[in-house]
Amino acid sequence: MKLTVIGCGYLGATHAACMAELGHEVLGMDSDIDKIHILNSGKAPFHERGLDDLLAKHTASGRLTFTASYAEAAAFADLHFIGVGTPQQPGKHAYDLTHLFAAVRQLAPRLTDAAVIAVKSTVPVGTAPRVRDLLHAHAPARDAVEVAWNPEFLRESFAVEDTLRPDRLVLGFDTAHSRAETMLRQCYSQIIDAGAPTIVTDWATAELAKSAANAFLATKISFINAIAEVCEASGADVGQLADILGHDVRIGRRGMRPGLGFGGGCLPKDLRGLLARAGELGAGQALALLGEVDTINNRRRQRMIDLAREQMGGDLSGKRITVWGAAFKPGTDDIRDSPALAVAQHLHELGATVTVTDPKALDNARKQHPELDYADDPVAAVQDTDLLLHLTEWPQYSRIDPARLAARAANTAVIDGRGTLNADAWRDAGWTFKALGRP
């Protein structure tokens, strides 16, 4: 099939490359011309495992190209995926749909023939009819333009895997047996034939599927982090507790790692966006717990700051603190709403000199936080430090020999915010060891 993907960020660029991998002819479209140049050279403009390989393979095979032109995109295919960003509105909890409606407005007047617009961006429930109305008002092809809702559940750092082998496909349509359904089933036929559960539903259910899934994932994380607070007050060990709970298959251990809490461009935004939309619909009370999920999450960051201050005798001014971790999670260079960087920035505001290290995210962190110091090497970052904060799950950090670090630090104190350091090994190497939620 021929298809386009409009918006080439983490979601769109991955989708475009994966659709080419499935054998389709794909044109990716993004208004950022620099991004287009990088993608056309067969590279990803961000770090995502396996994506460079796919981009190189399919820009070379000729199945995948990128453009900044809506006219080219409209003329290229009659199936268009939209995967533009829908961030949180500044100062509000609601989604910012500017990019989505801008893309639809740009595309619509160029749709002269029947077409299917499949939206993957995460939106508040009730957006699909607005997209349809815009298309029908401005597209020369009028109601021959169909809208499908096809939410994306990929995780950064597993994006290629999650796109090619999703744990489910959700396809939302407003009429049964539409042309849109035929086209999407054809587009995803290999994935469907491989056994991915495929749920065909209405628009509203498809729209809600994504924000509800992310709200649940966030709730699971905040639940175990709330239990971590009780562990801190009672001397229990939240890591062991999570293992014990996780053996119950109804609960499950996955997605329940206690620690510094969630960040990124999705979980925090979707939690708030869902809450805001439920409020608009008069169902806000039903989701009041999501406000608490957010509060618990933010409290983890504050707890880390309090522990650091306590460890430094109550005063952080002039203290040297090393932070391991800048990305919002391992396997990515994405620093959106990064818990580690939020803690680093706050400690800097409290007077500490903070040195941050991360395997992939330092370029992004430097741009956003020029006030912090940076070191490429996690061992060098500990030189003369008064306190080390372990705020990332990149596995290579938890494997570093604490004895090797002890000689470099001015003061051998460490706080583990991710629960992945071996407390005994660090204590044996002479470190004062503290951890969130652990004795």
Q: Are 26 and 20 in contact (CB under 8 A)?
A: yes
Q: How far is the CB of 143 from ligand UGA (least distance, A)?
A: 31
Residue 266 annotated to the active site: yes
Q: Give the DSSP H/E element, type plus range, for residue 267.
A: helix 267-280
Q: Are 79 and 183 in contact (CB under 8 A)?
A: yes
Q: Could you give the C-alpha distances from 171 to 99, 149, 153, 423, in angstroms and in order?
A: 22, 6, 12, 47
Q: How far is the CB of 159 from ligand UGA (least distance, A)?
A: 8
Q: Which of 155, 185, 299, 366 binds ligand UGA (CB under 6 A)?
A: 155
Any contact of residue 300 with ligand UGA (CB under 6 A)? no
Q: Which stretch binds ligand UGA (CB under 6 A): 192-200, 258-266, 287-295, 380-388?
A: 258-266
| Ordered DSSP codes for 32-93 | -HHHHHHHHTT--SS--TTHHHHHHHHHHHTSEEEES-HHHHHHH-SEEEE-----BPTTSS
Q: Which of 9, 259, 359, 417 binds ligand UGA (CB under 6 A)?
A: 259
**301 or 348: whose CB is closer to ligand UGA?**
301
Any contact of residue 328 with ligand UGA (CB under 6 A)? yes
| Residue 259 neighbours by CB under 8 Å, 6+ apart | 225, 300, 393, 417, 418, 419, 436, 437
Q: How far is the CB of 10 from ligand UGA (least distance, A)?
A: 8
Sheet of 353-357: strand order equals 373-374, 353-357, 320-324, 387-390, 413-416, 432-435
- The closest of 377, 375, 318 to 348, measured between CA atoms, is 318
**218 or 387: whose CB is closer to ligand UGA?**
218
> Which 52-111 residues touch ligand UGA, going by CB under 6 A?
none
Q: Which of 86, 214, 364, 385 binds ligand UGA (CB under 6 A)?
A: 214
Q: How far is the CB of 115 from ligand UGA (least distance, A)?
A: 25
Q: Are 334 and 363 in contact (CB under 8 A)?
A: no
Any contact of residue 261 with ligand UGA (CB under 6 A)? yes
Any contact of residue 217 with ligand UGA (CB under 6 A)? yes
Q: Which stretch binds ligand UGA (CB under 6 A): 71-79, 142-150, 171-179, 259-267?
A: 259-267
Just list the catalytic residues: 266
Site residues for ligand UGA per CB under 6 A: 122, 152-156, 214, 217, 221, 255-257, 259, 261-264, 266-267, 270, 328-329
